[in-house]
Amino acid sequence: MAQLIRIYEDNPSPKELQRIAKAMKDGALIIYPTDTVYGLGCDINHKGALEKVAKIRGVKLEKANFSFICESLSDLSEYVSQIDTATFKILKRNLPGPYTFILPGNNNLPSVFKKKKTVGIRVPDNSIAIGLVQALGNPIISTSIKDDDEVIEYTTDPSLIVEKWNHLVDYVIDGGYGDNVASTVIDLTGNEPVLIREGKGSVEL
């Protein structure tokens, strides 16, 4: 049974963030707010939790295109190969923000992702998401939660989210109504930025 926890974005409770982060260290799955849609996430270093997220999404873990939710650009060197100045300027100009940037991965990726050559990096402009990463001490693996509704692609109401995901996750963080537009996804692994998906973030970089 999922536990619904109300956390206010303008003043997130450090105590609650620490409690959830501790549970994530032990393998808990969470649904939490970002600056776009609500995300399903877990500790990047807990293989059992990663496997559960992959199973929920119906994909093989080693092939899953999950995002790494990072606290800031300073986290990039941990998982991303050296990038050029132009790429860094794009990142610095647009993060934190509603973007997922595809970047070249390095050898420090968690063992389950060792075969992947790229990694999707997010630094959301949301104090709850960033506070969770800070409390956890490392990135969160994340994927957007989809809705079965043909009109509304993403569930925005936390009370409906907990109703639907009650038996699949351990915590649902109620940070207020979410957005219904996902992040803009841009591939920065080549010579020029390539738009993969247009979302909330402007494509004018």
pLDDT at 198 over 70: yes
Indicate the pTM of the whole model: 0.94
103 in any annotated domain: yes
Band of pLDDT at residue 151, cut at 50, 70 and 90: very low
For the stretch 12-43, pLDDT in tens is 999 999 999 999 999 999 999 999 999 999 99
Task: Work out how many domains the chain is built from and give that number.
Answer: 1
Q: What percent of the chain has pLDDT over 70?
A: 97
pLDDT at 147 over 80: no
202 in any annotated domain: no
Range of the domain at 89: 3-197
128 in any annotated domain: yes
pLDDT at 150 over 70: no
203 in any annotated domain: no
CB atoms within 10 A of CB 30: 26
205 in any annotated domain: no
Q: What is the mean pLDDT of residues 161-174?
A: 94
Host H or E run for residue 94: helix 85-94
Compute CA 143 distance to the chain's CA centroid, rounded to the nearest angstrom. Answer: 6
Band of pLDDT at residue 153, cut at 50, 70 and 90: low
Helix (H, G, I), strand (E, B) or coil at 40: strand
Residue among 84, 24, 39 nearest 175 (CA): 39
What CA dihedral angle connects 96, 57, 170 and 95, to 10 degrees?
Answer: 0
Altogether, the residues listed in the chain come to a count of 205
For the stretch 78-91, pLDDT in tens is 999 999 999 999 99
CATH number of the domain bearing residue 143: 3.90.870.10
204 in any annotated domain: no
